[in-house]
Amino acid sequence: MATLTADSKITSRKISVIIMTLNEEELIEGLMMVLRGVSDIEIIVSDGGSIDRTCRVAGKYTDKIIRGTRGRGVQLNAGAAQATGDILWFLHVDSIPPDNFKYHILETLEKPGVAGGAFTLEIDSDLSSLRLITRVVELRSMISGIPYGDQGIFVKRELFEKVNGFKNIPLMEDIDFGRRLKREGKIAIIRPKIKTCARAWERDGALKTTLRNWAYVTLFFMGYSPQKLYERYYRKNLYLTMQRDVIKQRKNRPG
């Protein structure tokens, strides 16, 4: 019987990519085209009830589309339950992975003591303030060993199941999962960069968005309810959106 080399052991493992969506028809195709250009990966879209063309567009590229209940943890777990790979990669729809991402994931998970990993975050913007924030996020991830979800968290399937996957919470599901996964081994934050859309930072302001995110993570670690954080976050964002719409309407009025 032939002996497997290190590289053949790596490439024999299968990656299932799980993407949660909700009304993302403008972004989904770009990501799908990048992923579909790589062989031997399974692409699963877990949709939370989109009313636009998200599922129709994704259907041209994916192996499976799961339509279910809206909610971050719920959607991610639903995708994982249908996955056939022994490595699970949870990817945000507004992310663009680095070149050779498949090899980086497989190589990282072959290292002793590594339970999972994520890429280094890069916010897709030319603003100097966002480049600085990218560096700060990188430093935070390196120190804490817990990545954000938009860094593209990947994990060995058996360990995902051992820690019971994501909790059914509306916010901080990535931080909660990372904290539990760390008990099983190291979460490696690797150097290749994953680009994420700058829409949240550009919409709400770079400094404000970053400080808000840090505040919510801190409150979560202090035991604050994820449900209350969710309600506070989205109620405030809805109010600000309504304010902007009113101002825009006033500016557009004739005379």
HEC-encoded secondary structure of 97-153: CCCCHHHHHHHHHCCCCEEEEEEEEEEECCCHHHHHHHHHHHHHHHHHCCCCHHHCE
* pLDDT tens digits, 104-115: 999 999 999 999
Query: Is there a single domain that holds both residue 158 and residue 75?
Result: yes
Query: Do 178 and 231 belong together in one domain?
Result: no
- Total domains in the chain come to 2
Cβ–Cβ < 8 Å for 131, 121: no
Q: How far is CA 92 from CA 45, 59, 233, in A?
A: 10, 17, 19
Stated pTM of the model: 0.85
Same domain, 63 and 113: yes
Residues 217 and 240 in one domain: no
| Structure confidence at residue 204 (pLDDT) | 78
pLDDT, one tens digit per residue, over 188-230 is 999 999 999 988 778 878 788 888 888 888 899 899 888 888 8
Same domain, 162 and 240: no
CATH number at 186 reads: 3.90.550.10
Question: How deeply is 111 buried, as exposed, middle or buried, from its count of CB atoms within 10 A (0-12, 13-18, 19+)?
Answer: exposed
Q: Give the pLDDT confidence score for residue 252 in this predicted structure.
A: 54
Those residues whose C-beta lies under 8 Å from the C-beta of residue 56, and which sit 6 or more positions away, are: none
* Domain identity same for 171 and 241: no
What's the domain range around 250? 225-254
- Token code pair at residue 242: 């309504």
Q: Which two tokens stand for residue 147?
A: 């990545």
My answer on whether 109 and 135 are in the same domain is: yes
Do 147 and 199 share a domain, yes or no?
yes
Instruction: Check whether residue 111 and residue 53 sit in a common domain.
Output: yes
Give the C-alpha distances (Å, rounded to integers) separating 113 from 15, 36, 46. 19, 31, 30
Q: Which residues of the chain have pLDDT under 50?
A: 1-6, 8, 238-249, 255
Q: Name the pairing type of β-strands 153-156 and 114-124.
A: antiparallel
Inter-axis angle of helices 128-144 and 206-221, to 10 degrees? Answer: 20
Instruction: Give the residue among 41, 45, 42 at the shortest CA–CA distance from 21.
Output: 45
Instruction: Say whether both 69 and 187 belong to one domain.
Output: yes
Give yes or no: residues 218 and 239 share one domain: no
Say whether both 91 and 72 belong to one domain.
yes
